[in-house]
């Protein structure tokens, strides 16, 4: 079978691998149908993801069809449409013992530490395979994993009905955060440097948009919120200066959710954190978010039309990456299709 493998910085190839087989009674063989390309995949390709081990088959936004099941598998049948939960935790460390396996001390992520989904077939443990409604289009089900990231950010920020949420960045993850926040009854403000992304965010339900290069973001946000600030700030841009600004624009008793991995320091004063009693929280991957997000997708709670902007075949992986890197204004979510 064919797979997309990164062996070093800017060294990505389509390789031949043996088709995997079920070797344990609770395993599931999945015929991969569609895989989303995430920013973390691009970082691995560039050699800038310090967590990835090489060589590596990338891809963690995976949807496919069950081709075979082990004798101990229950609740799944051949032909079921599924998505994978791409994280393995140890079950024993402090994080795992407190229900936070997403930050397990021994965490392994498919597509980063283990071979991911950009291959024609995968064998996965049943616990990481989730059935979805067969009526969903592949373009819908491939978005479930990124939406769990948005759900996690909202959970970490304790977004409530009536809150004002400010999302910094209208890329795919920011937009997932937007949809989830709106489903919770929040008023959502979103900022970006790209006008077309802001227009799309407005179509997707944003109550207010701020063009970060044409406006004073802090002044405009404070005007919108009548000088209160945002009750929840989700930083999906993830630069040192956006983290600094997030603290500045958070309301009293506000929550700031940080999604970034930037190792450069931010210049943060203690006074606004203490004076406003701001809660600052990180958000990584997801904790038990798949069932809720799948429920929203199955029930068609929101429309995801327009998120997938380009579909490439496996053999076009280099073209897909080139488009993402050279024409970001044309891209929202690029996916690789294994359907012929």
Q: What is the CATH number of the domain that holds 34?
A: 3.90.180.10
Q: How far is CA 216 from CA 197, 227, 245, 268, 301, in A?
A: 18, 14, 11, 19, 34
pTM, entire model: 0.96
Task: Please tell me the distance from the alpha carbon of residue 83 to that of residue 13, in angstroms, as a whole number.
Answer: 25
Q: What is the β-pairing status of strands 187-192 and 164-168?
A: parallel
Task: Please tell me the distance from the alpha carbon of residue 50 to that of residue 44, in angstroms, as a whole number.
Answer: 8
Arithmetic mean of pLDDT, 289-311: 96
| 323 and 234 in a common domain | no
| 245 and 175 in a common domain | yes
Query: Looking at residue 51, what is its pLDDT?
Result: 86
Answer yes or no: is pLDDT of 340 > 80. Answer: no
Which residues have C-beta within 8 Å of that of residue 212, sequence separation ≥ 6?
Answer: 191, 192, 193
Give the Cα-Cα-Cα angle 283, 258, 275 (nearest 5 degrees).
120
Question: Which residues form the domain of 254?
Answer: 150-282
| 10 and 137 in a common domain | yes
Q: Is the Cβ–Cβ distance between 227 and 221 less than 8 Å? A: no
For the stretch 180-225, pLDDT in tens is 999 999 999 999 999 999 999 999 999 999 999 999 999 999 999 9
| 165 and 274 in a common domain | yes
Output DSSP code: residue 20. Answer: P
Task: Please tell me the distance from the alpha carbon of residue 118 to that of residue 336, in angstroms, as a whole number.
Answer: 8
């Amino acid at each position: 079978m064919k797979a997309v493998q990164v062996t070093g910085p800017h060294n990505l190839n389509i390789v031949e691998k043996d088709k995997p087989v079920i070797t344990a009674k609770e395993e599931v063989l999945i015929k991969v149908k569609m895989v989303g390309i995430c920013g973390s995949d691009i970082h691995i390709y560039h050699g800038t993801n310090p967590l990835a081990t090489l060589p590596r088959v990338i891809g963690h936004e995976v949807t496919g069809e069950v081709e075979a099941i082990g004798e101990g598998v229950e609740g799944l049948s051949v032909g079921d449409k599924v998505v994978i939960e791409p994280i393995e935790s140890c079950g024993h460390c402090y994080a795992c013992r407190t229900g936070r396996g997403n930050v397990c001390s021994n965490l392994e992520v498919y597509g980063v530490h283990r071979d991911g989904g950009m291959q024609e077939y995968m064998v996965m443990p049943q616990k990481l395979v989730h059935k979805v409604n067969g009526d969903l289009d592949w373009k819908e089900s491939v978005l479930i994993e990124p939406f769990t990231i948005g759900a996690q950010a909202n959970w970490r920020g304790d977004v409530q009905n009536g809150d004002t949420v400010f999302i910094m960045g209208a890329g795919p993850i920011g937009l997932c955060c937007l949809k989830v926040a709106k489903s919770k009854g929040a008023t959502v403000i979103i900022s970006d440097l790209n006008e077309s992304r802001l227009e799309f965010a407005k179509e997707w339900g944003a109550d207010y948009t701020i063009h970060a290069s044409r406006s004073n973001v802090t002044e405009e946000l404070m005007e919108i919120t009548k000088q209160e600030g945002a009750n929840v700030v989700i930083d999906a841009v993830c630069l040192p200066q956006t983290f600094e600004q997030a603290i500045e624009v958070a309301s009293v008793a506000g929550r700031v959710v940080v999604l970034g991995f930037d190792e450069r320091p931010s210049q943060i004063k203690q006074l606004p954190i203490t004076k406003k009693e701001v809660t600052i929280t990180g958000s990584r991957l997801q904790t038990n978010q798949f069932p809720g997000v799948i429920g929203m997708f199955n029930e068609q709670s929101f429309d995801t039309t327009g998120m997938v902007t380009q579909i490439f075949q496996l053999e076009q992986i280099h073209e897909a990456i080139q488009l993402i890197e050279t024409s970001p204004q044309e891209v929202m979510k690029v996916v690789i299709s294994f359907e012929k």
